[in-house]
Amino acid sequence: MKKAHWLLLLPAGIIIVLDQVSKTWVTHGIDPYETVPLISGFLNLVQVRNRGMAFGILNRTDTDLHSYILIAATLMAIVLILFWFKRLEDEAHSAVIGLSLVLGGAIGNLIDRIRSQEVIDFLDFHIGSYHWPAFNLADSAITVGTLWLAIYLLFLGQASTKSGK
């Protein structure tokens, strides 16, 4: 095996499983729109449905067209991630970890979109009455993976270029 395929597939698979298990637990354990305080004044568990993108963008119930557009966009993103992975040098393990996190998160939310045309969000961070939009483990993996890739591209990628790679 030329590339460390396991480094792409294993973390992505773990994220997909944890994401789906957590969403199943939330849908069976918390009523829709119920709030369960975990850390008073900071973190609640909720069950909300998001038919749109991050932060509720395109969260509309009057049309299904946007769901199909989001499914298509997610599939294109997955293809681009796999293409990027294929083009990486064998030593670019740091980039592969970031790609794996984004891949796992994208597939986790894609499963929801295909199954029910909406994504289950349940983590509600807030300070007092100021709430961050609810999100899930897949969203967290996408965010961390994207930041990981940005750091890689800005700092680590330049180091390998300077060393002649």
Give yes or no for a contact between 102 and 138, defined as CB atoms under 8 angstroms apart.
no
Q: Is 121 a catalytic residue?
A: yes
Kindly name the residue from 19, 112, 121, 124 that is annotated as catalytic. 121
Give the whole-angstrom CA distance, residue 104 versus residue 108. 6
CA–CA gap between residue 108 and residue 78 (Å, rounded): 12
Q: Is 62 labeled as catalytic in the residue annotation?
A: no
Q: Which two tokens stand for residue 36?
A: 């369960």
d(CA 99, CA 7): 10
Query: What are the backbone angles phi and psi of residue 149, rounded to the nearest 5°?
Result: -65, -40
CA 30 to chain centre: 22
Distance CA 114, CA 10 (A): 23
Instruction: Tell me which of 19, 112, 124, 139 is the catalytic residue.
Output: 139
Q: Give the C-alpha distances (Å, rounded to integers) separating 135 from 54, 81, 98, 132, 154.
A: 8, 22, 19, 9, 27
Catalytic (active-site) positions: 121, 139
